């Protein structure tokens, strides 16, 4: 029997503490001792993630062999059903946990020095920085721009999405369909002024056929649209989105940082204001809701967000 201590951190909450309607995406963070990771198998980590049942569980371990003035941590992410190659909200949650709990415990009080997550068997690195003033954490991910899907395949995917949401309108057949290197399909809703679009695709209380969405293929399906100035959202935003990942064990993800590696470059080409380096505000309209700030810097996407801390508990397997 092995006992793990974990902290639940809500990622991508609203930075306005007076507005608590955006609850963010909860992730479980397990910080392992530097000599502990090798003794825990991927099967055991998967079991923990399945038992916890959150969209992602992150396992983090400091790499004491790396130096250069920065702290390096190996990180792995697991959904309830599989290991995932990249996860934005669990990375944000893990960094928040490290900045507050681990580094502070070592006398490095809320340090603003960057930390580095090493993933993909050591082939990739993710730099994270914390702003001392606001508490916001910024991460730099590789951009994954969406590209158009060929007509016949686009028609297949859009028909499955239409059926999944119970949309009997003909107009959706003309909605652009894109995909990116992460494996996400993007459905861009251009008719944001049409009430039925919001009612059908952005009402999180409406029933969705996740099995049909799974047949789209790939990692997940992103439904997105520009913010409608005629509709008052919970928060000020530039665009809205929802993410569905039944193929990776996530029916609907509360907030998906990695999806914004595609959304940021996509909306950069649509919104001129993003060309000057400004952060776009992405509102993910799930039942919990979340705010992802994102912008393009060279070939990277910077994601910025805020976290709130939930419970600390243990689990045994």
pLDDT of residue 47: 97
pLDDT of residue 87: 93
Which residue(s) pair with 125 in the sheet? 118
The string of pLDDT tens digits covering residues 242-261 is 999 999 999 999 999 999 99
Q: Are 157 and 184 in contact (CB under 8 A)?
A: no
CA distance 122 to 207: 41
Tokens of 308: 């709130």
Q: Are 208 and 220 in contact (CB under 8 A)?
A: no
Q: How confident is the model at residue 266 (pLDDT cuts 50, 70, 90)?
A: very high
Question: Side-chain half-sphere of 232: how many Cα atoms within 13 Å?
Answer: 0
pLDDT of residue 170: 67
pLDDT of residue 275: 67
Tokens of 293: 């700030």
Pairing verdict, β 147-148 and 177-179 = antiparallel
CA distance 148 to 163: 21
pLDDT of residue 171: 58
The string of pLDDT tens digits covering residues 91-117 is 999 999 999 876 665 555 555 678 999
CA distance 143 to 270: 16
Average pLDDT on 204-209 reads 94
Pairing verdict, β 25-32 and 57-62 = parallel
Average pLDDT on 128-134 reads 91
CA distance 22 to 229: 20
Average pLDDT on 212-218 reads 98
Q: How confident is the model at residue 296 (pLDDT cuts 50, 70, 90)?
A: very high
CA distance 32 to 223: 36
CA distance 141 to 297: 10
pLDDT of residue 195: 63
Q: What integer best gives the mean pLDDT of the chain?
A: 89
Q: Are 13 and 307 in contact (CB under 8 A)?
A: yes
pLDDT at residue 192 greater than cutoff 60:
no
The string of pLDDT tens digits covering residues 35-72 is 765 678 999 999 999 999 999 999 999 988 876 778 89
Helix (H, G, I), strand (E, B) or coil at 51: helix
Helix (H, G, I), strand (E, B) or coil at 104: helix
Average pLDDT on 119-144 reads 92
Task: Provide the annotated active-site residues.
Answer: 56
CA distance 228 to 240: 9
Domains recognised in the chain with CATH numbers:
3-142+305-316 (3.10.310.10), 147-301 (3.10.310.10)
């Amino acid at each position: 029997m092995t006992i793990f201590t974990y902290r639940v951190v809500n990622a991508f909450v609203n930075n306005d503490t007076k507005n608590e309607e955006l609850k963010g995406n909860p992730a479980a963070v397990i910080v392992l001792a530097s000599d502990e990771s090798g003794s825990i198998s991927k099967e055991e980590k998967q079991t923990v993630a399945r038992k916890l049942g959150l969209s992602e569980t992150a396992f983090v371990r400091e790499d004491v062999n790396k130096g250069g003035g920065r702290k390096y941590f190996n990180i792995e992410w697991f959904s309830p059903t599989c290991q995932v190659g990249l996860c934005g909200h669990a990375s944000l949650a893990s960094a928040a946990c490290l900045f507050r709990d681990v580094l502070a415990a070592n006398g490095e009080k809320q340090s603003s020095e960057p930390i580095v997550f090493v993933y993909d068997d050591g082939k990739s690195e993710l730099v994270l920085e914390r702003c001392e003033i606001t508490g916001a954490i910024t991460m730099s991910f590789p951009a994954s721009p969406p590209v158009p899907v060929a007509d016949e395949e686009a028609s297949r995917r859009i028909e499955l999405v239409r059926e999944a949401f119970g949309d009997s309108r003909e107009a959706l057949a003309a909605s652009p369909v894109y995909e990116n290197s992460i494996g996400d399909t993007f459905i861009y809703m251009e008719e944001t002024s049409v009430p039925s679009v919001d009612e059908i695709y952005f009402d999180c209380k409406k029933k969705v056929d996740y099995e049909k969405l799974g047949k789209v293929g790939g990692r997940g399906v992103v439904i997105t649209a520009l913010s409608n100035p005629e509709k008052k959202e919970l928060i000020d935003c530039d665009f809205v989105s929802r993410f569905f990942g039944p193929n990776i064990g996530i029916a609907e993800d509360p907030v998906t940082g990695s999806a914004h590696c595609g959304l940021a470059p996509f909306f950069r080409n649509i919104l001129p204001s993003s060309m000057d380096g400004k952060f776009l505000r992405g509102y993910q309209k799930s039942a919990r809701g979340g705010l992802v700030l994102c912008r393009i810097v060279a070939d990277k996407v910077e994601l910025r967000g805020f976290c709130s801390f939930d419970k600390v508990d243990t689990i045994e397997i």
